[in-house]
Amino acid sequence: MKMDYRDVIISPMITEKSTDMKDTQHSLCFKVHRNSNKILVKEAVEKLFNTRVESVRLMNYYGKEKRYGRFSGRRSQWKKAYVKLKKDAKMIEYFEV
């Protein structure tokens, strides 16, 4: 399956932990497509944000089972990527003030 770079990265994850990692460790956190791999994520970040990537770490999250009364269902599965940028690479800014 051929994926476009814009399909690989779904959204940035902005949490306290990811903001702290952005400032201290020069790394970013993204929600990515379930079928993506490290190579696709690295290429997508480099092409879309015009920066250089040092390493990529991926984590799978499995959907939890949730109940509402007698009805039960399952949340969707998703994947998270931590992208570490090179020291001399330009940092990505999510919002412009």
pLDDT in tens, 44-62: 999 999 999 999 999 999 9
Q: Report the amino acid identity of residue 71.
A: F
Q: For residues 54 and 59, what is the distance between their CA atoms, to the nearest angstrom?
A: 17
Three-state SS for 31? strand
What tokens does 70 get?
């007698």
Q: What is the CATH number of the domain that holds 69?
A: 3.30.70.330
31 domain-assigned: yes
Give 1's pLDDT tier (boundaries 50, 70, 90). Answer: low
Mean pLDDT over 88-94 rounds to: 83
Q: How many domains, in total, are found in the chain?
A: 1
The boundaries of the domain holding residue 21 are 5-85
> pTM of the full predicted structure?
0.85
Does residue 91 form part of some domain?
no
Q: Is the pLDDT of residue 96 over 60?
A: no
Residue 95 lies in a domain: no
Structure tokens at 85: 């940028």
- The reply to whether 97 falls in a domain is no
